[in-house]
């Protein structure tokens, strides 16, 4: 199961992802984005994540090899259809699918 829930309430309530005082930076980024573009960055992020989650999950299921094994393990850990669990699954699976550095994700998972 996902121990680091992704929802607006958890991000706002916890002060963002706590990595060496990054909350202040995240708050400034959200504020500046809203000021310049006139849109709420967090709302846009969660809307897009919710919209693309079904396609991402399908992609995770179809992936083969070592990457597919990691993604299959993530999928098996997600037992509910709660939006926060699905968001967590997708955010945790993206670095795997993209072949990105996993250390940041591991740091995020340990926080909170």
The pLDDT score that the predictor gives to residue 41 is: 82
- How large is the average pLDDT for residues 86-99? 90
- How large is the average pLDDT for residues 10-20? 45
What proportion of the chain, given as a percentage, has pLDDT over 70?
Answer: 67
Decide if 88 is inside a domain. Answer: yes
Which among 14, 7, 18 has a CA at the least distance from the CA of 42? 7
For the segment 23-73, what is each residue's pLDDT rounded down to a tens digit?
556 777 888 888 888 888 888 889 999 999 999 999 999 999 999 999 999
The pLDDT score that the predictor gives to residue 102 is: 60
- Cα 29 to Cα 35, 44, 101, distances in angstroms: 10, 14, 23
DSSP 57-77: HHHHHH--HHHHHHHHHHHHH
Count of the separate structural domains present in the chain: 1
- How large is the average pLDDT for residues 82-108? 79
The pLDDT score that the predictor gives to residue 106 is: 55
Decide if 2 is inside a domain. Answer: no
The pLDDT score that the predictor gives to residue 32 is: 85
Which among 57, 42, 33, 54 has a CA at the least distance from the CA of 6? 42
Decide if 90 is inside a domain. Answer: yes
Decide if 1 is inside a domain. Answer: no
Whole-prediction pTM: 0.62
Domain range for 84:
8-110
Decide if 47 is inside a domain. Answer: yes
Residue 74: both structure tokens together: 């993530």
The pLDDT score that the predictor gives to residue 99 is: 84
């Amino acid at each position: 199961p996902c121990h680091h829930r992704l929802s607006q309430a958890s991000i706002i309530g916890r002060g963002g992802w706590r990595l060496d005082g990054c909350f202040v930076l995240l708050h400034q980024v959200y504020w500046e984005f809203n000021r310049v573009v006139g849109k709420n960055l967090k709302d846009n992020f969660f809307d897009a994540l919710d919209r693309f989650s079904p396609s991402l999950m399908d992609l995770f299921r179809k992936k083969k090899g070592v990457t597919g094994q990691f993604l299959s393990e993530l999928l098996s850990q997600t037992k509910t259809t709660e939006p926060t669990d699905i968001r967590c699954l997708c955010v945790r699976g993206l670095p795997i699918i993209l072949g990105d550095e996993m250390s940041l994700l591991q740091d995020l998972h340990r926080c909170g």
